[in-house]
Structure 1
Amino acid sequence: MAKILFMSNVGLIIEERPADIGNFLVGRLLPFRGKRMVGPYIFIDHMGPVSLSEGENMDVAPHPHIGLSTLTYLFEGSIMHRDSLGTEMEIHPGAVNWMTAGKGIVHSERTPQRFRDLKKTIHGLQIWVALPKEMEDSEPTFHHVDQIDLPYWKDGDVSFRLIAGEAFGRKSAVPTYSKQFFLEIHSSSQQKLTIGHELFGEAGMYILEGSIESDGYVYEPKQILVAKEATLCEFTINANTTVYIFGGEPFPEERFIYWNFVATSNERIERAKEKWLNQEFDPVPGETDFVPLPKDKVRPASTSERKE
C-alpha cells in the first residue's frame, strides 16, 4: 500500500509486496501502480534474506531480457551468473554484475556448485535500468565490477559508496548509458544529511536497515520513499542505518514492460515474445532448461498506466 504525503518532500511511499520468482518470495518495490519508474529505474526486487538448507538452492533457469540493464548487488551469499555471451561469473557481496540486454540476451542465476550441499543465505537487490531508446538494438554486454573498484568515501560517521552512475563529483566504474545514480549511505550515528544539490532528475530512497526522519515523520525498512524534488533531498539518518538512493533523468518516451522485456513499443515486446516462444534467442552454453513465457500475462503494461 502506498501513502502520499503533501507536507514534506516525500511525495510517495512504496512498501514491499511479496512476489514469487519460483524458488522463493521476494519483496517487489518497482514497478508500482502509482509510480512505475524513478528516473531510468524500472524494476527493483529486495531478495531475501532467505536461508536455504543443504540441497536447497537458487536455480533461476535461462530466461531472456531486452531493452534494459540488470544490476545485481548482494549483501549476503553468492550467485553464479551464466549468459548467452558465454559469461560465467560468480558475484559476491559488495560487487556489481551489470548485464546490458540491448536487442536480447539470455542468462541463468544459480547457487555456485561448491555451496549446493551446504546451508547458505541469499540477500540482495535485483534491479533493472531501462535503456535509452537509441540503445534498444545494441549488442548485449556484461560487466563485473569488484567492490574495491566502486567509489567509496567517508564524512565523519557517514560512509558513501557510489554503486552506479554519477554523484558527488565521482563516477562509478559500472558502464551506465543514461544520467543516473545509485548510492549506498550508511551511518553509525544520527546525522542530518543534505544531499539534494548532488542529485538530479527523480530520486527514490530504499531503507535497508535502521530508520530515517524527514519533516517529523519516521520511516523504517522495506519502503521506497520517492522525493517530490530530488534537489531538496534532506533528512536525518539515524544510528546504524543503511539506505540506497537511486534515480536520475527520466526518459522522454514511456516504457512498456512485459515479464522480462522492457521496450518503447508493444511491437518490440511482441517480437521478443515470439522469439522466445520459438527459442530463437542465443542459448546459455551448457544449459538446456529454460523459463517458459508466462501464460497469465495478456499484454504489456505501459509506464504511463496506473494499473499494476
Structure 2
Amino acid sequence: MSNTGMIIEERSRDIGDFLVGRLIPFRKKRMIGPFVFIDHMAPTQLGPDKYMDVDQHPHIGLSTLTYLFDGEIMHEDSLGTKQLIKPGSVNWMTAGKGVSHTERTPEHLRNGNTFVAQGYQIWVALPQALEDMEPNFYHIEAKDLPRWKDGDATFTLVAGEGYGKKSPVPVYSPLFMVEIKTSNTCRLNINGKLKGEIGICIDTGSINTCGEVIEKGNILVSKVEDSCDIVVSPNSHLLLFGGEVLPEERYIDWNFVSTSKEKIAKAKKDWENKTFPMMENDSSYVPLPKPFQGKK
C-alpha cells in the first residue's frame, strides 16, 4: 500500500470516555497502540476501465496488514513473494530495513466483468529494536483465524491476542485486531478483553455510547479502561484494534516509518537512487513525492 496522503480529520472531538475522529492519524490522536495508519478501501466497482494497479513502492520500519471484505489483490514484493489475497485472509508483510512491493488486480479478474473491492490496509510500527530486521511476508487463510459467536455478534481475531485467543499472524509487539459483525442490537464488552489502547472503527452501522450515536466512518479511541456501555446497532461491522503503546515517537514520511529521521532520509535517498531493495520482475516505480510548496 502506498500512502499518497495522510487522512486527517480536523473535526475530531471528545465525548467523555472516547475521542472520535476519522481514521488515523487524526488531530488528537496520531497512533493507537502500535497502529500508525489505517486506510479504508471503500466499496469500489472495478472493471474493464478501472483496475487496481499500485506500482512498485518502498517501506521501512513497519508491517503492513491487508484485510479484504470483497474483491481480490495480487501482492508481489522484492522478497520474491507472489500471493493472491481473498476476502477474510490476511497478508502480513514486515518491511524492516527495507522492502518494495506492488498491489494489482489479478489477471483472472481482468476478464471484462465488473466486481466490487473493499477492505482495509493498515500500517503497524515495529518496535525500535526490530526496525532494521530482515523483511518477511506471511499469508494466513481465513479458515485459520480464530472465529466465535457471542449472542448476536460474530467475532474474528485478525491479529494479535484478545478475548483469551491468539491469531496465527506473527506480530512483533502486544497488539490486537478484532472484526465484529452484528445481526441484532447487542452490547459490546471490551473491559478486560483487550490489553492496551483500544480503537473502535465503525465500517458500517453505528454504536451508541456515552449518550451519543456514532455513525460509520468514524474511529473511537478509549481514554479509560472501564469505558461507557457500548450498544451496537443491528447489521453493524466493526474493527477493534490497538495494543501497548510503543515508548518512542514515530516519524512518518511518505511510506517510511521510523524512530529516526536519519533512517528515513537515507531510505528516501536510496529510493531516488534506486539502490533500495527492488523487485526483479517488475520495472514499475512510484517516484518520491516532491515536497509541498504551497500556493504561489
Q: What TM-score comes out, normalization by structure 2 length?
A: 0.92
- SS of 1:198's equivalent in the other structure is coil
Label 1:231 to 1:291 Cα distance change in 2 as closer, same or farther (>3 A).
farther
- Are residue 113 (structure 1) and residue 121 (structure 2) matched? no
Corresponding residue number in structure 2 for 1:9 = 17
Residue from 103, 107, 110 that aligns with 2:97: 103
Pick which of 49-58 and 68-77 moved more. 49-58
- Are residue 45 (structure 1) and residue 53 (structure 2) matched? no
Corresponding residue number in structure 2 for 1:152 = 147
- Are residue 290 (structure 1) and residue 288 (structure 2) matched? no
Distance (Å, rounded) in 1 between the aligned partners of 2:199 and 2:280: 37
Residue from 174, 178, 187 that aligns with 2:173: 178
Label 1:246 to 1:231 Cα distance change in 2 as closer, same or farther (>3 A).
farther
> Unaligned stretches of 5+ in structure 1?
16-28, 299-308
Preserved CA contact (<8 Å) 1:14 1:32:
yes
- Are residue 255 (structure 1) and residue 255 (structure 2) matched? no
Q: CA deviation at 1:232?
A: 2.8
Residue from 234, 237, 242 that aligns with 2:232: 237
Distance (Å, rounded) in 1 between the aligned partners of 2:70 and 2:57: 24
Q: CA deviation at 1:34?
A: 2.1
Q: CA deviation at 1:64?
A: 0.3
The RMSD of aligned alpha carbons is 1.4
- SS of 1:275's equivalent in the other structure is helix
Distance (Å, rounded) in 2 between the aligned partners of 1:196 and 1:181: 14
> Unaligned stretches of 5+ in structure 2?
1-9
Preserved CA contact (<8 Å) 1:258 1:297:
no
Preserved CA contact (<8 Å) 1:55 1:116:
no
Corresponding residue number in structure 1 for 2:5 = none
Identity %, equivalent residues: 51
Instruction: Write out per-residue CA displacement over residues 158-188 of structure 1, whole angstroms, 9 at most, x where no aligned residue.
Output: 1110000100111001000001110111111
Label 1:233 to 1:84 Cα distance change in 2 as closer, same or farther (>3 A).
farther
Pick which of 30-39 and 173-182 moved more. 30-39
How many pairs does the alignment contain?
Answer: 283
- Are residue 73 (structure 1) and residue 67 (structure 2) matched? yes
Q: CA deviation at 1:234?
A: 3.5
Preserved CA contact (<8 Å) 2:101 2:279:
yes
Task: Extract structure 1 runs of 4+ deviating beyond 2 A.
Answer: 1-6, 230-234
Label 1:227 to 1:191 Cα distance change in 2 as closer, same or farther (>3 A).
same
Corresponding residue number in structure 2 for 1:22 = none
Amino acid of the residue matched to residue 125 of structure 1?
Y
Amino acid of the residue matched to residue 11 of structure 2?
A
- Are residue 82 (structure 1) and residue 89 (structure 2) matched? no
Distance (Å, rounded) in 1 between the aligned partners of 2:236 and 2:42: 18
Distance (Å, rounded) in 1 between the aligned partners of 2:58 and 2:197: 28
Q: CA deviation at 1:297?
A: 5.3
- SS of 1:277's equivalent in the other structure is helix
Q: CA deviation at 1:30?
A: 1.6
Amino acid of the residue matched to residue 63 of structure 1?
H
Distance (Å, rounded) in 1 between the aligned partners of 2:259 and 2:216: 33
Instruction: Write out per-residue CA displacement over residues 174-225 of structure 1, whole angstroms, 9 at most, x where no aligned residue.
Output: 0000011101111111111222211222111100111111022111100011
Amino acid of the residue matched to residue 9 of structure 1?
D
Residue from 244, 259, 264 that aligns with 2:259: 264
Preserved CA contact (<8 Å) 1:198 1:231:
no
Preserved CA contact (<8 Å) 1:81 1:108:
yes
Corresponding residue number in structure 2 for 1:64 = 58
Q: CA deviation at 1:48?
A: 2.0
Distance (Å, rounded) in 2 between the aligned partners of 1:180 and 1:96: 15
Pick which of 62-71 and 209-218 moved more. 209-218
Preserved CA contact (<8 Å) 2:12 2:27:
no
